[in-house]
Structure 1
Amino acid sequence: MELSTLARVTTGITLLTCVLAVAGVHSYAAGRAQRQALVDRLTAAGHVPGTGRRRRFPGLDRRLRRTRLGKKLELRLAATGLDVTPGEFFVYMLAAVTGLWLIGQAALAPFFGPLAGGLGIAVAVQFLNWQRQKRIEKFINQLPELARILANATQAGLALRTAVSMAAEELEAPAGEELGKVAAQLAVGASMDEALGELADRLPSRELVVLVTTLVLSNRAGGQVVSALRNLTETLDERKETRREIRTQLSQVNMTSYAVPVLGVGSLLLMNGVKDGALERMTGSPAGQAAVLVAFALYAVGFVLIRRLSRIDV
């Protein structure tokens, strides 16, 4: 009797284990299918969860994102479209600053080491601004085609949310990527005003503000969005040509603004090349250091003034 009871208990435990194993496998398969469906949905909306590239410095990146500087840097990198985390960018910038510090100290004089390091930080910030402005310019050039796609989609009877998703699939980067983010936000319950407002904050421009305002007002009041988008498409095409002409006319002035500080640094290298150790002797006294700082400040002021004078808002 005892052996028979033990056999029945063992059989019952075995059957229960098999049932739990089958249930676990079924739950795992269902969860994996749901995850794959979510990945496919986000990918179709323009969000690719992973690029396949292994992220570097994850610990530093997590700590940096908690700070105010890290949050600002993350927003700036998102606006540039670069596939770089704040931690990676910080490490790369730190390496560039260290390298420029050592090069300036060895090639010129010890006094120029900190100046070269500060120049590295300024170049990194300017690089982000340049990448952001480049992405904005490219997005502005795609706005006429974007408005045309939205007008055709709404004229065909599609909702504005569907039209945005369609434009995200048809347009190339950066418009396709940015509209993919908008479509993903709309898919998880965000309002049209919030999603388009964040788009205007990421890529600020007058043209985009006009388009966003038109879409938001049409979505709220239910006005004639097709005719408004048609008129906006023509206006954006004209502004695109005007901006291209102005950029061509001011290309020489922009090159002059960059040539001014380059000539200043070149004159220092020439001076040190003509007479070895001249910069070290010059910066060995407070008067010489003050003269160098004043000269660099004047070059920076000249660069800023030339850029400001050549800026024409259309």
Structure 2
Amino acid sequence: MDNLAPLTLGVTLLCCVLGVLGLHAYTSGKAQREALVDRLTSTGQIDKGPQRRFRGLDRRLRRTKTGKRIELKLAATGLDVTPGEYLVYVLAGVAALWLIAASVLASFFGPLAGLAGVWSANTFLNWHRAKRTEAFISQLPEISRVLANATQAGLSLRTSIAMAADELEAPAGEELRIVADQLGVGRTLDDALDELAARLPSRELVVLVATLILSNRAGGQVVSSLRNLTVTLEERKETRREVRTQLSQINATAYAVPAIGVGAMLLVNSIMPGALDRMTGSFIGQTVVIISLGLYAVGFIGIRRISKIDI
């Protein structure tokens, strides 16, 4: 009992010393890291890039499965946004839509607008990914032509990919630059190309990747394979353009149908102020609204399914 006070004092001093040593190690390590980043940035070996927001949230989000899926989608879209920034922007947009719908229409439409905001955010990523994939597909004939010319000149396939990354514009140049960087750090050609095909899924890219991998493994005639593939990709490109033109009216109808429904609902509420609030004040009215919105969603999905043609 008499030794308790000195023991407590000794443990407290030891904890203070360890805390000071830990703080010193943390600050010195952080200073060394910043000095290394500044040195590499000044020599042009790395690009420091813009200062990111919500870095703590971004680090925690990347450790989760949801964060990894968001990161994969953002990488496929090519957007300069981190998963943490995307999550904060989505939550802010959902909150804004919730408040606007609840104040303009009725409180019942607040949660529905929030769900619509989450769906819209995911749809935006899918649309941007599809748009980038389409742009990449349109450049595939040029990619095959550049790789064939470089291979015919005696360059290896790895060097040809790096040269094509420098010559081609985005998104093909950016994606091939990622493949070239992965090859530069020791990844195999099969893994790098398979990851490219998973990032931008399309039949044309799968054919190109399979051609390059098989030619690299078997040591076949890469030049002749790429020449034939270039002609095929050009023909598929023209076919896709014709089909897209023929289906443009159907796609516009798919978006016009739900827009007309929402516009009619706003028109009724403007003619008879408070009509939506009174209608959704009962269980029957809420059920009818949900069924109506469900029918509009079914119509939208049905029209999109009918107009979807795989080429």
TM > 0.5 between the two? yes
Question: 1:35 and 2:44 equivalent?
Answer: no
Return the match for 1:278 from 275, 279, 295.
275
1:159 matched to which residue of 2?
156
Shift of the alpha carbon at 1:267? 1.1
Return the match for 1:49 from 47, 50, 69.
47
2:15 matched to which residue of 1?
none
Amino acid paired to 2:241: R
Q: State the superposition RMSD in angstroms.
A: 1.5
Question: 1:61 and 2:58 equivalent?
Answer: yes
Deviations 1:145-190 (A, max 9, x none): 0000000000001000000000000001111010001000100111
Shift of the alpha carbon at 1:33? 11
Return the match for 2:287 from 266, 280, 290.
290
Amino acid paired to 2:74: L
Closer, same or farther: CA 33–84 of 1 in aligned 2, 3 Å: closer
Structure 2 stretches of 5 or more lacking a match? 1-35
Contact residue 37 and residue 48 of structure 2 kept, 8 A: no
Distance in 1 between the 2:117 and 2:148 partners? 46
1:12 matched to which residue of 2?
none
Question: 1:172 and 2:172 equivalent?
Answer: no
Question: 1:221 and 2:226 equivalent?
Answer: no
Shift of the alpha carbon at 1:38? 8.1
Question: 1:191 and 2:196 equivalent?
Answer: no
Contact residue 151 and residue 160 of structure 2 kept, 8 A: yes
User: Quick one: higher RCO (CA 8 Å, sep 6+), 1 or 2?
Assistant: 1
Distance in 2 between the 1:36 and 1:275 partners? 63
Distance in 1 between the 2:37 and 2:280 partners? 66
Shift of the alpha carbon at 1:54? 1.5
Shift of the alpha carbon at 1:49? 3.4
Distance in 1 between the 2:240 and 2:293 partners? 33
Distance in 1 between the 2:287 and 2:86 partners? 33
Distance in 2 between the 1:256 and 1:170 partners? 40
Amino acid paired to 1:131: H
Distance in 2 between the 1:289 and 1:32 partners? 57
Amino acid paired to 1:281: R
Return the match for 1:302 from 296, 299, 304.
299
Amino acid paired to 1:249: Q
Distance in 2 between the 1:34 and 1:163 partners? 31
Distance in 2 between the 1:37 and 1:229 partners? 40
Closer, same or farther: CA 228–289 of 1 in aligned 2, 3 Å: same
TM-score (structure 2 length as normaliser):
0.86
- Runs of 4+, deviation exceeding 4 Å: 31-34, 36-39
Closer, same or farther: CA 219–110 of 1 in aligned 2, 3 Å: same
1:108 matched to which residue of 2?
105
Question: 1:80 and 2:85 equivalent?
Answer: no
Amino acid paired to 1:77: L
Distance in 2 between the 1:232 and 1:39 partners? 37
Distance in 1 between the 2:42 and 2:140 partners? 31
Amino acid paired to 2:53: R
Please give the secondary structure, in 1, of the residue aligned with 2:139. helix
Distance in 2 between the 1:272 and 1:32 partners? 58
Distance in 1 between the 2:37 and 2:63 partners? 31
Question: 1:257 and 2:254 equivalent?
Answer: yes
Closer, same or farther: CA 32–124 of 1 in aligned 2, 3 Å: closer
Deviations 1:245-296 (A, max 9, x none): 1111111100000001111111110111111111011000000000000111
Amino acid paired to 2:58: D
Deviations 1:72-107 (A, max 9, x none): 000000000000000101011011000000000000
Distance in 1 between the 2:129 and 2:252 partners? 19
Amino acid paired to 2:291: V
Return the match for 1:142 from 117, 122, 139.
139
Deviations 1:22-70 (A, max 9, x none): xxxxxxxxx7898369854xxxxxxx6333x211111111111111100
Distance in 2 between the 1:214 and 1:173 partners? 22
Amino acid paired to 1:292: V
Please give the secondary structure, in 2, of the residue aligned with 1:246. helix
TM-score (structure 1 length as normaliser):
0.85
